[in-house]
Structure 1
């Protein structure tokens, strides 16, 4: 009755009923709490209200909801210290009650501590169990706070600090250039790719949150430096033949668009745009996950920029795969693959910031399942990622989506050598077998080969080829065998394939080898002539060699 009378606006009669309730039970926590509410809200008697609140909380020791409600009343009355006292008590009982964080954010904003206000508001979003009014208000508040923080100009200072750190680590300067004509908000250009003395970051100065995108582009360089330090950096390239293959595969789609009245030139430009856009997603999506995770955890003060910028990018991704006109014009499978890559970004945004935009992609169950599978693989790599592992994930995903034929990863060291004939000749003279340098592409192929062999167990075809090799080598001088080993190694600088045949060795005239056969002879020749370097071959044939020796005996 006290609650009813208070809701009806008769506070005096409400107090009479509450006094009666407290006569019958002086520890009635709800009656004590309502008395405090009336005294604070309507009678403006804060000192007396606080006494009732304290008694109510003694009666209901685990009532974090009432603690938070009291704190909000104190906040409304401008009693910030009292509000914080009740909120601290509420957090001790339940640190995951979103309303508590929301009020802490309101207090921080009132005190002009925008960074704390943003973090409290963001925590409210994360902790909301439902997408209800509280969630919507918290999201709105987080956006507003982020926009206020961006106006402070602190972002550029943090970007400059990170840039100077990378200049030191990579021993190369980094030039920052305002460029309103670039297609994206920010773009990184590796110095070596443009034959320049400095790396370059181009950016649109008026783009909201562009500091985050600049930091993101610089973070690409950080990953490159880490991989280069291990000698395993890779370059993502697409060739003219791969572009031609893409256009050929979608020639039927091009024909249908031309029949609808679109000019052939426009159709070709549209397909090339899809080719470039798909490859950008193939390269960027897996790598960007690691970059954004690093920015979020290692640069927490940068989260307002990251929050706004990523939201904008995901909105663009949603538009790109749900726009009716694009759906009408683009091949369905390309649109589906693009949607999967976009969904992965949205999954990370949800996990980092608590804002779930996934439903807006209108994805099929199959697309959601594939995106979740890829995202789970990222989570396995995330916490202990080693330099260069982002490229492994990139390759896995492109193969699973069957778009790997439109691009390739190549070892940076090997690629740049081939591009410069003088460097290629010098390196060939110093290290003809490439034993002194790591080739990430060869290492990847070796790992795959080893894994496939482990699944198959002992390869009897290799065993029999090894027996033949042992017979051939039994009466030859060790120097001759070493010459054969060297010749096979030279043949294998580009790798051997078990699917091919017709391999030849200059020091073994009039003989052609199959893929397994050349690998068997490769292993045996080195096992005899240079056993200490056998491990460098990366061939998993220890069992086969032992079995071949026993059979030979």
Structure 2
């Protein structure tokens, strides 16, 4: 088959790269060869005066194309023994085809016959010196199997001459050098690939690996997060990048003194706010970290408490300090707002809980337990309404102003996202919660997940099983935050608190009051009764539980029926249902052995070896602990010293009613 074109303006219209005449006949031939090449079959291009002729060997293509495709498919499956005879026949019938030789070279190399592979690749390059894959393979063989880097570099460099802007080829060269432990040479190619295309995740991932090997952990974390953020698919590279990010972050947390991160910032806030800040260890607080504002406790100092054994707690300490920073800024312009709620607000909220209350009453749940349930729903939604917008600003500030904190922030926020996800998708929770409350809570959690995706690339959005309306609303909120974040003025975060609450029609459950006006007309004791307990410690007091958290045993006596434990016990009863007693006993003993050092109700990520693919919070594992012993060794339950008799009775009632 022949195709003939006149060399004129119309040809340049068909092939715009030829316009201008630069490069002469060589450019014309190259462009037409590239266009009319079919798989491994390259046409013959000739020029006679003002005409160019493209000769395509269609008969050969028709005869050999099926065998070529079959050979490629067999090679992809690693079936070389079946592929080689077919490929050898193709070479004998068409020895001028460079790609046939290249594939044979690849097969031989994979089989361990490197010298024979080199001979085939040389043949491939003799017929087509621009065969990029043949050049790349030659470099790989000399670097990997011959330990001859200078020769390998000659082939690599020639591959770059052929495709100087092919970042993938350049990255592949770097990857092969990295596998040989030649990190400096590898980095040269990776950085060249980055300059060509900064959006290729594989290159960033490789740079992260090298930086980790070289113990440059901050650079390793940065590059690995870039690989996550640039990967649009949850493929193997994505999974490996996430794993690598956690490994590096945990190395940084273990190897560095996180206190150095917040000490200087604390001194800055002490100066600006004219109030000292004590940062102290406290294993008995309800949350991992919280701040007690001096004004709210009639003290001369702010006190920031933290649990010393909480992973990445330095991030939460910094979170609390940034909140104080925002308060100081807002106070300077007299715009700081106090988040308050009254019995009237709660009464309005309780009305929407009536169906759930009725359901629990029919299940013979005690009035105290129902009251705790209602308080938890009310407090939880209000906390989200207040915290979510402000926390977005805080986390954005931390990410941009304290890059060394990012590994801590990554681990900590990941844990919080997981907790939020469980709270709005766990069947044992949502079965007893009003749909409206779950929906509003899910929107707030989705906003946090959107920010986490933007900061660190990990996408949990689909895991929330949100409705289109919920997802749309969360995206609207996040876009509104983005409009504020770069030019936020002191106190503007409170505008989002109100805007979002109004949009979700939950603004009738709380009130924002200007701090100056409030303090002029109220005493501190009545003021304290209007605050809710904040998981981040943003505002100190829960209006219904003002006393400090004491040790676990005493706390259980004070709060009565623990609904969280009840729900986790229902989960445990479902898990152990129909399980042989011996198996339950094995799990019971395993939990007991693990618990010899004690379980922290506020700790996360406990693992039970006998229960695969499941992580437990403190209360969750305590519930499994109690239930497993009640089912397998009931006569010994009293030895556990867990005051969960009433919780277990309630859980049995709920379980049997399903």
How would you bin the TM-score normalised by the shorter chain?
A: 0.7 to 0.9
Give, in angstroms, the shift of residue 234 of structure 1: 0.8
SS of residue matched to 1:236: strand
Residue range with higher mean Cα deviation, 34-43 or 8-17: 8-17
SS of residue matched to 1:39: helix
What are the within-5 Å matches in structure 2 for residues 187-202 of structure 1? 187-202=290-305
Who is 1:284 aligned against? 387
What are the within-5 Å matches in structure 2 for residues 493-504 of structure 1? none
**TM-score normalized by the length of structure 2:** 0.63
Give, in angstroms, the shift of residue 341 of structure 1: 0.5
Residue range with higher mean Cα deviation, 229-238 or 47-56: 47-56
2:314 pairs, out of 211, 234, 242, with 211
Matched, 1:39 2:138: no
Give, in angstroms, the shift of residue 265 of structure 1: 1.3
Give, in angstroms, the shift of residue 417 of structure 1: 0.3
Q: Runs in 1 of length 4+ with deviation above 3 angstroms?
A: none
2:352–2:434: 8 Å Cα contact kept in structure 1? Answer: no
Who is 2:107 aligned against? 4
What are the within-5 Å matches in structure 2 for residues 473-488 of structure 1? none
d(CA) in 1 for partners of 2:375, 2:389? 22
Who is 1:437 aligned against? none
What are the within-5 Å matches in structure 2 for residues 367-446 of structure 1? 367-420=470-523
Who is 2:339 aligned against? 236
d(CA) in 2 for partners of 1:90, 1:318? 38
d(CA) in 2 for partners of 1:316, 1:115? 27
d(CA) in 2 for partners of 1:207, 1:67? 43
Q: How many residues align?
A: 421
d(CA) in 1 for partners of 2:126, 2:329? 73
d(CA) in 2 for partners of 1:183, 1:278? 18
d(CA) in 2 for partners of 1:56, 1:235? 65
d(CA) in 2 for partners of 1:364, 1:213? 31
Matched, 1:339 2:442: yes
Who is 2:238 aligned against? 135
2:249 pairs, out of 132, 142, 146, with 146
Any gaps of 5 or more consecutive residues in structure 1? Answer: 422-553
Deviation string 1:356-381 (CA, Å, 9 cap, x unpaired) is: 01111111111111111111111111
Residue range with higher mean Cα deviation, 207-216 or 84-93: 84-93
d(CA) in 1 for partners of 2:523, 2:392? 33
Who is 1:351 aligned against? 454
Any gaps of 5 or more consecutive residues in structure 2? Answer: 1-103, 525-658
Who is 1:304 aligned against? 407
Matched, 1:182 2:182: no
What are the within-5 Å matches in structure 2 for residues 28-177 of structure 1? 28-177=131-280
2:279–2:304: 8 Å Cα contact kept in structure 1? Answer: yes
Who is 2:419 aligned against? 316
d(CA) in 2 for partners of 1:416, 1:265? 34
d(CA) in 2 for partners of 1:185, 1:300? 22
SS of residue matched to 1:396: helix
What are the within-5 Å matches in structure 2 for residues 508-547 of structure 1? none
Give, in angstroms, the shift of residue 385 of structure 1: 1.0
Deviation string 1:294-321 (CA, Å, 9 cap, x unpaired) is: 0000111110000000000000001111
SS of residue matched to 1:154: coil
Higher helix share: 1
1:227 pairs, out of 326, 330, 341, with 330
d(CA) in 2 for partners of 1:208, 1:359? 27
d(CA) in 2 for partners of 1:246, 1:95? 51
Who is 2:590 aligned against? none
SS of residue matched to 2:364: coil
d(CA) in 2 for partners of 1:157, 1:69? 40
d(CA) in 1 for partners of 2:130, 2:429? 66
Give, in angstroms, the shift of residue 24 of structure 1: 2.0
Give, in angstroms, the shift of residue 420 of structure 1: 4.7
d(CA) in 1 for partners of 2:267, 2:372? 40
Deviation string 1:483-530 (CA, Å, 9 cap, x unpaired) is: xxxxxxxxxxxxxxxxxxxxxxxxxxxxxxxxxxxxxxxxxxxxxxxx
2:173–2:186: 8 Å Cα contact kept in structure 1? Answer: yes
Who is 2:577 aligned against? none
Matched, 1:274 2:377: yes
Deviation string 1:405-427 (CA, Å, 9 cap, x unpaired) is: 11100010000000159xxxxxx
Give, in angstroms, the shift of residue 248 of structure 1: 3.9
SS of residue matched to 1:40: helix
Matched, 1:18 2:146: no
d(CA) in 1 for partners of 2:377, 2:282? 24
d(CA) in 2 for partners of 1:399, 1:149? 42
Residue range with higher mean Cα deviation, 100-109 or 142-151: 100-109
Residue range with higher mean Cα deviation, 193-202 or 241-250: 241-250
d(CA) in 2 for partners of 1:206, 1:241? 40
Who is 2:62 aligned against? none
d(CA) in 1 for partners of 2:379, 2:523? 26
The change in CA–CA distance for 1:252 and 1:132 in structure 2 (over 3 A counts) is: closer
d(CA) in 2 for partners of 1:316, 1:42? 49
SS of residue matched to 1:329: coil
